[in-house]
Structure 1
Amino acid sequence: MKKKNWFLSMAMLLTLSMFLAACGGGEAGGDEGGEEGGDGQQFVNILTGGAQGTYYPLGGTFAQVLNDNLDNVDANATSTGASVENMKKLRDGDGEIAFTQTDIASYAANGELMFEGEAMDSIKAIGTLYPETIQIVTTKDSGIENVEDLKGKTVSVGAPGSGTYANAENILEIHGMTMDDISAENLDFGDSTSGIQDGQIDAAFITSGTPTGAVEGLSATTDINIVKFSDDKISELIEKYPYYAEDEIKEGTYGLESAVKTVAVQAMLVTTDDMSEDLVYEMTKAIFENTDKISHSKGEFITADSALEGVGIDLHPGAKKYFDEKGVSAE
């Protein structure tokens, strides 16, 4: 009888221990999205752009800066479809920080154009970074010198709903044209420059910081031309769409023999209001206090003093706290 009772007691203890282990099994690790992992780390996924653009390599540098300066952050950069896709991924919780154009962030926050009826009031700004130059790339032999010359040509305008596509629509409109006046192709930057090199397309809209890797690659084998904008069309564009600004591609870039006048929007970093004030403050401070560690040519444009220029949407409280401490304010 005693032996039977002993076995019964052991069986009950074993069952109890298995039950407690099962209850505790879900506690290991942690949620992503800026939440703490099992070791207290904050996982931060930076949504960037295509591998041949500017966002992806710059995002990798930002991730390194965060990892080097914040002990509790585990950051990585992810290649994406860039601005529009990044806004949707942020909304869906697939990232914590994202690169985007200022115009696209404004469309997303206000539910306009490609975000019609889908206003994302959770999107908050961290700060602007550098000009995103609209480059209409073609070859010297194409005979395309101005925007009007694109009429009837095969032109890459980016994916429908992308930032590049919206820029192309705005610019064609100001010049009295629509997508119906060209043979539009929806290619990424790499395929656009390959298409120009192979003679499959005549020109491509590329909205990116200069120099852009894909365009540099093309210029290494082909004499290229960047379409110029006239002063009156620049003024007309900015008057109708204030998030544009006059810009210039310097002489020598891509082997250009003279500077080219064009327009730009701003690249910016955004996050969501789900991110904690303390974490966003620390990340904003780490990035803007370590711009000398940014191993990318765009690092020279990234400063705290200019980070609120053209933001256009509400700042995240964590970013605002940092810029308030620096005495930086929007105009």
Structure 2
Amino acid sequence: MFLKSGVSKAVIIGVVVVIIIIGVAAAFLLQKPPTKPLSIKIYTGGTGGTYYPLGTKLAELITKYSNGKIEATAVTSGASVANAKALDAGDAQVVFIQNDIAYYAHEGLYMFEGNKIEEIRGIATLYPEIIQIVVRADSGIKTLADLAGKKVVVGAQGSGTAVNAEQILKAAGLWDKITPVYADFKTGAQQLKLGQVDAVFYTAGIPTSAIVELSATTPVNLVEVPEDILKKLHDQGYAFYVKVTVPKDTYNGMTKDVTTVAVKAMLAVRADLPEDAVYTITKILFEHLDELKQAHKRAEAIKLEKALDGMSIPLHPGAEKYYKEKGVLS
């Protein structure tokens, strides 16, 4: 009897131990493995520009505030056109890009003719890149119409500035009435200084250091692009242009504020980036603007209520979800 009892106890203990081991093993097996963060690359621009410091800070903020869900890395690049191509190739998941370049990429126009990038999607427009039509202050050129019969530097061949210049001058009915000169701004500024050309187009944020430098020795003015031309641009399908005003104290030689148009720097993503990831990126962008502003003063122009101004490509559903939550979209 004693033996049987001892054996029974041993069997019971053994069974209990086995059950415990099986239970622990099952619980261990049922545990979800730690989720690996989504790794993304943000293509920016050159280290001397605006895109790089903003992109570097944005990558830091995404990694910091996504609760381990996203690990972002900023990458230097050749800016807008190169970034669109990197997005298409899958090398980049998020890019800084001008909204007009994004539009050309999505539609297969200009430098993307035959290489349409249909999978590019928008997160937000950020700040204006202003189309500046620079003339000497003593030139007598006051309006776009005054450019008729003049030599005009429209930007380097194949550049975004050259496309902006052609679109604006065609909208004004002036493209066939000017002599276009294809050159970069450095060359164009020197020609303007020497009186070899009459005007120079340049697309950039203000104040543009190269124009500040030029105006220090050669006072300049900017030619107005009036609202009726902006409307014509919109009617022609160029919805990415927005109205801006350049303050009169921007460059030496200006005597009044000048109305012109601008394209906008923006954030774009691949269409196949998960909706929850893009929602998180959009949320972090707008909820941590104070920290982003520490990276570059251009971030001061980034506003939630203006995030869709000049949006030239389809929105990513993740960004759309955030804007609907915030009442920016209905």
TM range (shorter): 0.7 to 0.9
Residue of structure 2 in register with 1:36 after alignment? none
1:302 maps to 302
1:249 alignment partner, one of 246, 250, 268 = 246
Match of residue 317 from structure 2: 317
Cα displacement string for residues 209-255 of structure 1 (whole angstroms, at most 9, x for unaligned residues)? 32333333434444221112345434433333343233211221224
SS in 2 for 1:251: coil
Cα offset, 1:174, TM superposition: 2.0
SS in 1 for 2:325: helix
Paired with 1:184 and 1:202, the residues of 2 have a C-alpha distance of 10
Max radius of gyration: which structure? 2
Equivalent pairs: percent with the same residue? 41
Q: CA 1:212 to 1:287, structure 2 compared with 1: closer, same or farther past 3 Å?
A: farther
Choose the corresponding residue for 1:146, options 139, 143, 147: 143
Deviations 1:171-196 (A, max 9, x none): 11123233783242231x55554654
Q: Is the 8 A contact 1:63 1:77 kept in 2?
A: no
Q: CA deviation at 1:200?
A: 6.3
- Provide TM-score, normalisation by structure 2: 0.74
Quote the Cα distance in structure 2 between the aligned partners of 1:179 and 1:312.
28
C-alpha contact (below 8 Å) 2:43/2:83 kept by paired residues: no
The Cα shift of 1:68 comes to 4.9
Distance in 2 (CA, whole Å) between partners of 1:128 and 1:322 is: 14
What does residue 262 of structure 1 align with? 260
Structure 1 residue 43, shift from structure 2 partner: 4.3
Select which of 142, 167, 188 maps to 1:170: 167
Q: Distance in 1 between matches of 2:118 and 2:321?
A: 20
2:269 maps to: 271
Comparing 281-290 with 166-175, greater Cα deviation is found at 281-290
SS of equivalent residue, structure 1 residue 44: strand
Q: Is the 8 A contact 2:56 2:73 kept in 1?
A: no
1:207 aligns with 2:199: no
The DSSP-based 3-state class of the residue aligned with 2:261 is strand
Asked whether the equivalents of residues 152 and 178 of structure 2 are also in contact (C-alpha less than 8 Å), the reply is no
CA offset digits 1:9-62 (Å, max 9, x no partner): xxxxxxxxxxxxxxxxxxxxxxxxxxxxxx95724232336845x444443443
What code does the residue aligned with 1:98 have?
Answer: V
Distance in 1 separating the partners of 2:38 and 2:187: 38
CA distance in 2, matches of 1:62, 1:194: 37
Cα distance, 1:154 vs structure 2: 4.6
Judge conservation of contact 2:154–2:165 (CA < 8 Å) in 1.
no
1:270 shift after superposition:
0.5
Deviations 1:273-308 (A, max 9, x none): 232333322222221111122233332321222212
* Count, aligned residues: 288
* Residue pair 1:48, 1:98 contacting (<8 A) in 2 also: no
CA deviation string 1:132-152 (max 9, x = no partner) = 321112332344333344444
- Give CA deviations for 1:54-82 in whole Å, capped at 9, x if unaligned: 444443443454455456524224241x4
Match of 2:7 in 1: none
Q: For the aligned residues, what is the CA RMSD?
A: 3.1
Q: Distance in 2 between matches of 1:127 and 1:57?
A: 18
SS at structure 1 position matched to 2:214: helix
Cα distance, 1:78–1:177 mapped onto 2, change above 3 Å: same
Label 1:235 to 1:323 Cα distance change in 2 as closer, same or farther (>3 A). closer
For residues 211 and 59 of structure 1, what CA distance do their matches in structure 2 show? 21
TM-score normalised to structure 1 length: 0.73
Name the residue aligned to 1:19: none
**Distance in 1 separating the partners of 2:266 and 2:213:** 25
Q: Structure 2 unaligned segments of length 5 or more: list them.
A: 1-35
Residue number among 221, 233, 236 corresponding to 2:232 in the alignment = 236
Of 60, 72, 75, the residue aligned with 2:73 is: 75
- 1:83: Cα distance to partner? 2.9
Q: Which residue is 1:88 aligned to? A: 85
